[in-house]
Structure 1
Amino acid sequence: MKISWSAYDTFEANFKPLVVVELAKDTKDETKEWLTQKIIEKKKNGGAQLLVKPLMADGKKIEGNQNIYLVGASHLRLLLGAETVGLVKECNDNTMRAFTYTARKTFKDFAEDNHDFLTMAECQYIIKHELENLRAKDEKMIPGYPQAKLYPGKSIMRRLISNGILLQIFPLHDPEELKKLGHTWYKKLKISYQPLDDIRCYFGETIAFYFAFLEYITFALVPMAIIGIPYYIFDWEDYDKYVLFAGFNLVWSAILLELWKRCCALMAYRWGTLVMKRQFEEPRPGFHGVLGINPVTGREEPVYSSFKRQLRIYLVSLPFVCLCLYFSLYVMMVYFELEYQAHLYHEENQSELSSLILYVPSIIYAVVIEVLNRIYRYAAEFLTSWENHRLESSYQNHLVLKVLVFNFLNCFASLFYIAFVMFDMKLLRQSLATLLITSQVLNQCVEAVLPYWLQKRRTKSVKKKVKALDIDTDLTLLEQVNLEKGMDTYPGTFDDYLELFLQFGYVSLFSCVYPLAAVFAVLNNITEMYSDALKMCRIFKRPFSEPAANIGVWQLAFQTMTVISVVTNCVLIGMSPQVNGLFPESKIELILIVVLAEHLALAVKFLMAYAIADKPRDIQIKLARLEFESLEALKQQQMKLVAESLKEKAN
């Protein structure tokens, strides 16, 4: 689909729509005029100094699209915005530095007429930043809405969202670039690396890091899959010969994430986010409280008692999570009862049907686990929002903690019970295989097949509506905006990382008993790469680019899983008949040796974490040099100020 901007060139030369703003249908005219004026107004007068135009065709507003506005910016405005948000670009001397307009000619590929110096994703990020930083000055309320109070320093866009006036803000796709990206990313079946740099340029670092981590985990699983296939073929009837595989599993999980941190640092430096200064974090849109003064910024903004938040966490959220964990354990015991009944039926009948029935309880339990995980996720989001965290990072940390604790117990409690209470390795293999495969099939259907089918239907509907307008002009942009505004909003990488986390747990904890777990994980991840790429390009609205230097709190989550994996595999090795045969008389001695081995393994793991630097040596040197130059520049600036001060006193 190729866009023609000719219909919009009549408004202003070279106006390129980058971001779409959709207001509610019943929005007052005075509100629209006030908001558009704030967007256009100069920065010194409290505006964003951007370009904004209503969505039109043939110079006329279209029915059903009267409240849709297109936002863009001049090339100069975008360059100044790049300096404001602290974008880091590559210089002519191959170093990465924060972009400044005064030193623009020192940056690689910069030219006054080169409008591709900033990627479209970076331009959209700048516009989003400027819109979010539109703040009230003298206004006491939103024009046309007396109940929507405004206070000095209050974010206007967030106030519009909370009052239901502003429905959504989203960046437009670039069809030509999207077509190129799709061609190299998911349209051809090939065994090769993903175009991570292109993904980063189009979707931003947060999305690129997810796909980079997915690719890294997939390649890291390949050795385990290669070893697992012959291991399973030759020992598939002997469920106790897993010592060697457990040992390999232990070493693999210990070093996996240490090497990832180095890869992550290399990408973050190349993309400019490793040296990007973190901006002061604004309150999240859902945060509420009484009006007060922020002690850091001095601005008026809502404040909320930390004591009240702690009461909500420990007196409501924590008991609710414990209740959910208890219910999850109750469901697990129901599953074991079903397993017991299925085995009784099989022993009595000994038929092909009874053999199939043996797998039914595990399949039902796997489906119930997925349903419970999704229901709990909604409850966790509600509770975390109700706790009223001021910052988005704090909200995400509490949400991730709640979800991971429940998902870990819900998915792995039965496996731990079977392994360390029932000591039934045959049932452990069967349960692990069923849980892993069922969860992968369900996730692929829910996350890829169903959304793709719905989007195909939505596309046909939009094209019919646009054709019915019967306007003699190029409606490609009109089609695109109407299609994209109806797309689902990208929910973020939370669910994708959670799925990877659970898969990593299945493989690292118990794959020694079921060596094919790594094989299924690799196959699933390859499919996941293509389906997630298709979703990003065809099903969801384009998300705003978000700078990131790593995978965030998920790094800690995966590291915690590796520690649990080391302990689990050591215990499994100690339980094996081969090791037990070495201590036929003294089980206490065996337990002490297993505990000692587990402590030594953890000690080696933490020593490796210390020995393997998170950043390669050359990156460390570049960062140190940049810090030294910054300090020298600061010293020179201070000396200049002192000299000017002395000169004034002398005069």
Structure 2
Amino acid sequence: MLIPASVVGLACFLYGVFTLSSHVPVREMCADRGSLLMCPLCDNGCEYWRLQDSCTQAKLSYLFDNGATVFFVVFMSVWGAAFLELWKRYSARITYQWDLSGFDTLEENARPEYLARLSKIKKRDIELIQQDTSSDSVPFWKVKLPYSMLSCSVILLLVLLAVAAVVGVIVYRMSVRATLALSNDEMSSFIPLITSTTAALLNLLCILLFNMVYTRLAVYLTDMEMPRTQTEYDDSLTLKMYLLQFVNCYSSIFYIAFFKGKFVGRPGKYNLFLNYQQEECGAGGCFLELSIQLAIIMVGKQAFGALSELALPYAMRLWSHLSLIRGTPKDARLPKEPWERDYTLPDMGTTGLFQEYLEMILQYGFVTVFVAAFPLAPLFALLNNTLEIRLDALKLLGSYRRPVGVRVRDIGIWYRIMDSLGKLAVLTNAVIIAFTSDLVPRMYYRWKVSPEGSLEGFVDFSLSYFDVRDYGENVRHGNTSGLLGARYCRYSDHRTPPWVENQYKRTAQYWEILVWKFAFVVIFENLIATLMTLIRWVIPDVPKSIREKIREDNKLTNEIIILQELRRRHAIDPVPV
């Protein structure tokens, strides 16, 4: 399924590469209009700069934010809906093949850990609890409610901790950008790229560190809640872990996509956060930084996971072997039979596949929820999964004991999470295209402002004027040699110029573009929702061949029941079945 998505994503990226030289806004920023004098990025210490300093950033941004982005997002929305429908068909097929069509979770036995702890709470033998089904439940007021409230409180605390880490990285961005802006060297034009890359790496480090803590705490809290069956245990653990991982992995991306640069202010009146000036998007927008953030977190997390899966089982196997032979006489260390050596391997346990599912669902989120910002995400996911298949094979066959099979009807709560991600992806991609990229402003300029219906002059249209004399007395900029006696500087916004009465106010064009953005979100969402509904209607959940086999099985079962009842009615011994 990732192959067509990878091909289309790569084609959209190559479209940006081949049309880069003909894109008018990039040409304007890198050529004649690139000499426009831009206002300092901060009120104290920063210098005046030229628009052409953002030439490299604008070129890189166009590779991901081009005319093919909308088509790719529509394609991926349809792909996501088709993937879920095809998964349901595949699940129905293997459910029938493994004779699990009539399996009910109520048939599951209680977990041994559950019974052992319940016997301590009720001070009764496990055998008596198993015989008396009415006592096979946890006291609600004494155990269930307190531990559930404790679990919710700890989860909320961990979510706030992840958000605090994101805020810390934001402060790091602002401080590093302000520090680099004070330097007067040739690297000044690469300040946005340096800040974005280092901050993304710092975010990746925080994510990897928090993952180690989250896993152990989630398992501990789930054990405290005492789920009765393995399905209940897995669903509870899955919900906790995915909620924590969702905030941990996606919060920084949500910040860049939906909040960064939206509440900055204007030159001479910037809004502050913790005594730091808020980050603003450059002349090329925040789309490039969003792409960098997504690429580093996704690819870095996959690379770390692959290395861990390759090294950790061998380390555990070596540790188990050393622990076994420790203290054993030399002459006793004779070659053992294969099954004896296999016994020294680590056990996967009941949640051995949990991390595998979690990794794939997080990857599914990267591929769908934020695919508008990084069309190469399906390609990297395909490459990762190609390697992952071999690593999982080596791990399952050679690094762990043979796992014990458990009867389950489906993948449980994981499917509902994927379905929710598919619906969330429609909204997030629509908002990213409308509010983070320049697609809607370019459409507005081409259709309503430009007399030729082209993008000629779009860069000048997207910049406002500021009178340098309106800076306060307390504002001290760095080297002002770039000013060269100019009276006005430019900044990215739609505000009235300083020579009118209501200076620096939002223009009518700003509000019209905002209306266009909201209209785009509504139209895009309804279009994708219609397509997804059509796909669900066209593709049945159960293949026709499986439905016919189930119908035949039910018919045969009914015939056997009728035959048995007729024989019983006529006092004839039932025939064996």
Q: Same fold (TM over 0.5)?
A: yes
Contact 1:253 1:565 in 2 (8 A): no
Distance in 2 of aligned mates of 1:468 and 1:360? 56
**Unaligned residue ranges in structure 2 (runs of 5+):** 21-59, 262-285, 445-508
Within the alignment, does 1:376 sit opposite 2:214 as a pair?
Answer: yes
Distance in 2 of aligned mates of 1:548 and 1:229? 41
The residue that corresponds to 2:438 in the other structure is 577
The residue that corresponds to 1:561 in the other structure is 421
Q: 1:227 aligns with which of 1, 7, 11?
A: 11
Distance in 2 of aligned mates of 1:357 and 1:601? 35
Q: 2:363 aligns with which of 498, 503, 506?
A: 503
Q: Which amino acid aligns with 2:308?
A: V
Q: Which amino acid aligns with 1:328?
A: A
Q: Match of 1:422, SS?
A: coil
Q: Match of 2:107, SS?
A: coil
Q: CA shift at 1:300, angstroms?
A: 7.3
Distance in 2 of aligned mates of 1:232 and 1:542? 49
Structure having the larger proportion of residues in helix: 2
Structure ID, larger Rg = 2
Q: CA shift at 1:458, angstroms?
A: 5.5
Within the alignment, does 1:594 sit opposite 2:428 as a pair?
Answer: no
Pairing 1:345-364 to 2, within 5 Å after superposition: 345-347=179-181, 348=183, 349-351=185-187, 358-364=196-202
Q: Which amino acid aligns with 2:292?
A: Q
Q: CA shift at 1:281, angstroms?
A: 1.3
The residue that corresponds to 1:443 in the other structure is 305
Q: CA shift at 1:456, angstroms?
A: 5.5
Q: For 1:91-121, what per-residue CA distance to the aligned partner results, in whole angstroms no more than 9, with x for missing partners? A: xxxxxxxxxxxxxxxxxxxxxxxxxxxxxxx
Contact 1:397 1:553 in 2 (8 A): yes
Within the alignment, does 1:255 sit opposite 2:82 as a pair?
Answer: yes
Q: CA shift at 1:643, angstroms?
A: 2.5
Cα RMSD over matched residues? 3.4
Q: 1:312 aligns with which of 114, 136, 146?
A: 146
Q: For 1:598-634, what per-residue CA distance to the aligned partner results, in whole angstroms no more than 9, with x for missing partners? A: 1442344244324421111111010111112112212
Q: Sort the Cα spacing of 1:400 and 1:605 in 2 relative to 1 into closer, same or farther, 3 A.
A: same
Q: For 1:475-518, what per-residue CA distance to the aligned partner results, in whole angstroms no more than 9, with x for missing partners? A: 642x5314423434354211011111111111212222222222
Per mean C-alpha deviation after superposition, the further-off stretch among 357-366 and 301-310 is 301-310
Q: Match of 1:489, SS?
A: coil
Q: 1:405 aligns with which of 223, 243, 246?
A: 243
Contact 1:221 1:522 in 2 (8 A): no
Q: 2:158 aligns with which of 303, 314, 324?
A: 324
Q: CA shift at 1:549, angstroms?
A: 4.0
Q: Which amino acid aligns with 1:436?
A: M
The residue that corresponds to 1:240 in the other structure is 65
Contact 2:345 2:400 in 1 (8 A): no
Contact 2:371 2:429 in 1 (8 A): no
Distance in 1 of aligned mates of 2:148 and 2:104? 34
Pairing 1:132-151 to 2, within 5 Å after superposition: none
The residue that corresponds to 2:91 in the other structure is 264
Distance in 2 of aligned mates of 1:237 and 1:380? 39
Q: Sort the Cα spacing of 1:299 and 1:237 in 2 relative to 1 into closer, same or farther, 3 A.
A: closer
Q: For 1:289-333, what per-residue CA distance to the aligned partner results, in whole angstroms no more than 9, with x for missing partners? A: 425999997557543124545523552221221111111111101
Q: Which amino acid aligns with 2:112?
A: P
Pairing 1:434-473 to 2, within 5 Å after superposition: 434-455=296-317, 468-469=331-332
Q: CA shift at 1:219, angstroms?
A: 4.1
Distance in 2 of aligned mates of 1:295 and 1:286? 13
The residue that corresponds to 2:502 in the other structure is none
Q: Which amino acid aligns with 1:336?
A: I
Pairing 1:160-199 to 2, within 5 Å after superposition: none
Q: Sort the Cα spacing of 1:539 and 1:486 in 2 relative to 1 into closer, same or farther, 3 A.
A: closer
Contact 2:325 2:333 in 1 (8 A): no
How many residues of Structure 1 are paired with residues of Structure 2 in the alignment?
Answer: 427
How high is the TM-score relative to the length of structure 2?
Answer: 0.66
Q: Which amino acid aligns with 1:428?
A: L
